[in-house]
Structure 1
């Protein structure tokens, strides 16, 4: 506050830029999930969305560290960040419950080979994180202007 009293706005812009960067990071990590859709499974990690047709999924398993792994037919291994294995996960067994739900979904919805057996990857949009990141870049620019 003392620097604002002296007319130095650089600190305020810098604090706002850091706040926005932290907010963007927390939003991206906190919104990771697995979505079971008709005919496909979406794995939304912080930056990439993996779209996996049901026919491309070979196995869903838990690693020795407690993290969820999805093995696909082309031999790839997808590790959802949402179920990465943690201290909380060892107590609540969320990765094991997620694996069970995915297996049940695949069993109930069939795994017939689709025309497209290889999954797709694309950049994940997270508007709340992206807006915070843009605001943080603007604030960082303003901090350098007031330097």
Structure 2
């Protein structure tokens, strides 16, 4: 179930709406599509990450690791098996690259934590071509907030 995109309403949401005394008759009431909460629930689909900035697309973990294999060495136990491992590795790499905690926190807020970790993995992979990893991350965060950056 974690590998399939989930665009359905949250479990229990319809029941809560049915118990709402202020709601109209059930056939007149329409539930708005809900964004899935937390994490990258679209691991297989590449749709917009619910915690990400406006329109930022995310990618499946396997694709991220295939594109950025250098980050694997920094995962807990020298491997990365899930998003939490990637985010832990990103914190280690962030420090190693000299990216300030505030720049990384802003990226997590603007892009979502999984996408920020993905960007850190990409920066590590292309490290020889990036003069200021912290400045580059801040610039990508600003671009994300303006809808001008896509991880792909």
Judge same fold: TM > 0.5, yes or no: no
Larger gyration radius, structure 1 or structure 2: 1
